[in-house]
Chain A
Amino acid sequence: MQEAISSIPQLAVSPIAEILWLIPAVPIVAAGLSALLKQSGRNTSATLAIGSLSFSLLLSLVAFAHVFSDWTAGIATHEIVNFTWMQFGASNVDLGWVLDPLSAIMLVMVSFVGLLIFIYSTGYMKHDENFTRFFCFMSLFAGAMLGVVIANSLLLLFMCWEIVGLTSYLLIGFWYQKPSAAAAAKKAFLTTRIGDVFFLLGIVWLFAQTGTLLFYNNGAGSIESASLSVLLTQPAALGLTAAGAIGLLIFAGAAGKSGQFPLHVWLPDAMEGPTPVSALIHAATMVAAGVFLIARVYPLMAAGALVGGTTMALTVVTWVGAFTAVFAALIAVAQNDIKRILAYSTVSQLGYMMAGLGMGGVAVGIFHLITHAFFKALLFLGAGSVIHGCHEEQNIRRMGGLKSDMPLTFLTYAIGMLALCGFPLLFSGFWSKDGILEAAQHWSMAKAPFYMLVFGALLTAFYMTRQMVYVFGGHWRGGKPAQESPAVMIVPLGILAFFAMALGFIGTPAWPWFSAILDGNAANLDLNALIEPGLLTLMAISTVMVFLGIGWAWWFYGDRSPKPTVPDALEKAAPIAWSWLSHKFYVDEFYGVTVIAFYGWWSRVSDWLDRWIWGGVVAGVAWAFSLGARLNRFLDNNIVDGGFDKGCEELTVGGGLLSRMQTGRVQTYLRILALAVVVLAAILIWSYKT
């Protein structure tokens, strides 16, 4: 191509990899166009968004097909296109995109789920007057997310990452007239910012160390062996290598995006946005971006294995993930808002993914990511359909008996719920979760994560059953009765439901070609892998857990559908625990009394200082001066009057003489300047001579 580009060695790449950039570009262009539309251009914007995204989906499928055929031919596809974006001084900043199994799979997932959700939202947002704006944001988001996926440069990834954050902010605050929505949007933006600052630090450090931000660059990339070995030699604080430290910084960013423990607080509040948004951004794709990021820089995280085949960075990832999984699941048990429950379950599932990445590697985590994307999107859209049917009612205590009112929704929702619980054999969640559990079982560092995750599975089953019972079981407890949603909303549910079941079979231990594609080795079907004893026990354990959870929840909530006023069954059983859970372990309150309170306190303090100390000093000085002045005046008036006036006149005359200098004529000043030049030059020459 051009000089600028040819400065980077290019390998021959397939045509699809050449035009891979179109996948994100088209939706972004569509967003730009629909931004120009008037409010009335509803159909146009919807058509733009859906059309562009289906185009991206098409290309993504082509890309995936390319990868797949390569894989069947025994090649691990890895095609990169890099170019120099900007060049200052010696170093230059390169951007580029990469087509490898990871990005191909993610592309298909994002564009497919996104497309379904777009179609769904044409129904869900029908009556919103800012329809156009909504689709503008949505396709901007989709484009940016696809950009994150194909980025071959940490910088490009970060740019798209930030656009994603921006769109998330815009969409959470889409109904900005609701103060709660505005607040939630701000919270989400700021919380993720905290993570992103660390992320940026990591990027800068990486650039400083390796001089490039490209992931892969024919051996010269920042996460390829050459620069990794450099990074490993660089020691950082607390016995970490630079690689580990950078990995941790990047993980902080990822934690911010995908709501890991300390920074998870924004995700539940993000449910203030329209439900399709929650489905697309805060369940399927954006929160997965963090997980994807870790998967992308996995070589960096895994560089320089310690004893036991794992590294500091990965250990941290694992522990945070496992803890988040249990923590969020616990909270989810005691929520009443249908979307909040799903939000917390999302957080906990993200914890699973992180743990999976930490312990089992890319394939395990990403597999759960994909399956989760489908069934969680399904659940959210189902929830949306429920809310839609119940006239914007979100409290599950005031629902019930929808089984008969909204049968199709119930069916699909049930499938999603079973998939999320990991109901044995039939559902994708089971297999992907099993992958993680298996990895946890064989993890060398500690066994605790394994038990935590198993417990998490139990809780998942519990709270999902509770929700199901409340929403669909029993009899209707709300206002005017619910009715089924339009077909345009149901059809996507159906499709997602299908995938929520089918997707499991591409990753069973019997025929694990999903992980095979990712790891680039052949997959062959042998059913013996299923009845391999260690695995059998594991599957048995998780099955037992699932049934235990469901049974337990049924025993608690059964089919009795209490009045909303009656306290929750679990609350009756264990009030203290309940209050902790329903207050989300007081994390928000904790932040409120620590961080935020500190800022408030500090601002008050400085305000007080301004008012009293500095102000006081100034006032005091002023007062002293005025006292002196009074004294002076007294002396003047009575003692040195006559003589002083004379002096004053003298001074006035002198001042007048001085003020002549200020003629107000430009040329005078210019003259003075020139004189100064003369003098300076003369001095300079002299100093040079001597």
Chain B
Amino acid sequence: MSIVFYLLAALTVAGGLAAVLLKNTVHCALALTVAFAGLALLFLNLDAQFAGFAQILVYIGAVAILVVFAILLTRGSETPKDGVFSRSWLAGLAIAAAVFAVLGWALLQSARVLPHETAVPTVTVQQIGVALVGRYVLPLEIVGMLLTAALIGAVIVAMHEKVEHEKEGSK
């Protein structure tokens, strides 16, 4: 358990907390990116270079931007008057705490059977690529299909209204 791990863990958790606690929605989004970055660093700390960079590329480069866009498109950036937490926030918090309790308990139960320090796996991007088009080719295809469908779906869901307007305009 190196000091690096503690720092990264602290960064990540802090980012996560900020992301759910801050009042201003955009700040939440930015905090979320901090959490993402922390996670990416954790991945690197776990010798998962590829996954780490992919994490940065996909989450910080795409998802965070997407979230920000959505916030601005939904006028979410100004904080609402009647509080940012829902009426039943207490119950939610309690349940989340319960989940954490159970998970933590499970972890501590299984702590002794978990493996200790193991040799650092040397995995090159080449291997990952070969695995992707070899053993995992069918999942890869399916993910490709999924992404295509999601792309088209998102576009349609987002532009639907506009198309109707155009129709009305043409009428």
Binding site for B on A (CB under 8 A): 3, 86-89, 667-668, 671, 674-675, 677-678, 681-682, 684-685, 688-689
Contacts and interface: CB of A to CB of B under 8 A. Distances in A.
B98 interface: yes
Interface in B96-151: 96, 98-99, 102-103, 105-106, 109, 130, 134-135, 137-138
Given A87-B134, A87-B137, A88-B137, A678 B98 contact: yes
B91 interface: yes
A89 B95 CA distance: 42
B137 A685 contact: no
Query: Can you list the 7 inter-chain pairs with the closest CB atoms, starting with the nearest?
Result: A681-B102, A674-B95, A678-B98, A678-B102, A685-B106, A671-B95, A674-B99
B109 A689 contact: yes
A688 B135 CA distance: 33
B37 to A, nearest CB: 27
B98 A667 contact: no
Nearest to B105: A685
Contacts, number: 39
Given A87-B137, A675-B95, A681-B102, 15 more contacts: A3-B130, A86-B137, A87-B134, A88-B135, A668-B88, A671-B91, A671-B92, A671-B95, A674-B98, A678-B95, A678-B102, A682-B102, A685-B105, A685-B106, A688-B109
Interface of B: 86, 88, 91-92, 95-96, 98-99, 102-103, 105-106, 109, 130, 134-135, 137-138
A685 B109 contact: yes
Contacts of A667: 86, 88, 92
7 contacts: A88-B135, A674-B96, A675-B98, A677-B99, A677-B102, A678-B95, A681-B106
Contacts of B130: 3
Contacts of B109: 685, 688-689
Contacts of B98: 674-675, 678
Contacts of A86: 137
Contacts of B86: 667
B102, B109, B130, B135 interface centre (most CB from chain A within 10 Å): B102
B82 to A, nearest CB: 16
Given A86-B137, A689-B109, A681 B103 contact: yes
Nearest to B138: A88
Contacts of A675: 95, 98
B135 A89 contact: yes
A660 to B, nearest CB: 13
A568 B112 CA distance: 98
Contacts of B91: 671
Nearest to B134: A87
A681 B137 CA distance: 33
B91 to A, nearest CB: 6
Nearest to A673: B95
Contacts of B135: 88-89
A437 B105 CA distance: 87
Contacts of B137: 86-88
A675 B96 CA distance: 9
B170 to A, nearest CB: 28
Contacts of A685: 102, 105-106, 109
A363 to B, nearest CB: 42
A671 B86 CA distance: 13
B165 to A, nearest CB: 28
Contacts of A688: 109
Contacts of B105: 685
A87 B106 CA distance: 39
B80 to A, nearest CB: 16
A3 B95 CA distance: 53
A88 B103 CA distance: 36
Q: Which of B88, B109, B134 has the most CB of A within 10 A?
A: B134
Contacts of A88: 135, 137-138
A334 B86 CA distance: 88
Nearest to A3: B130
Nearest to A679: B102
A677 B102 CA distance: 9
A667 B90 CA distance: 12
Contacts of B92: 667, 671
A678 B97 CA distance: 10
B17 to A, nearest CB: 18
Contacts of A87: 134, 137
Contacts of B102: 677-678, 681-682, 685
B139 to A, nearest CB: 10
Contacts of B99: 674, 677-678
Contacts of A3: 130
Contacts of A89: 135
A334 B123 CA distance: 76
A665 to B, nearest CB: 8
A682 B104 CA distance: 11
A651 B134 CA distance: 61
A87 B138 CA distance: 9
B58 to A, nearest CB: 24
B94 to A, nearest CB: 9
A547 B135 CA distance: 67
A682 B105 CA distance: 9
Contacts of A681: 102-103, 106
Contacts of A674: 95-96, 98-99
Nearest to A685: B106
A681 B106 CA distance: 8
B126 to A, nearest CB: 10
Nearest to A674: B95
A334 B103 CA distance: 85
A679 to B, nearest CB: 9
Contacts of A689: 109
B96 to A, nearest CB: 7
Nearest to A87: B134
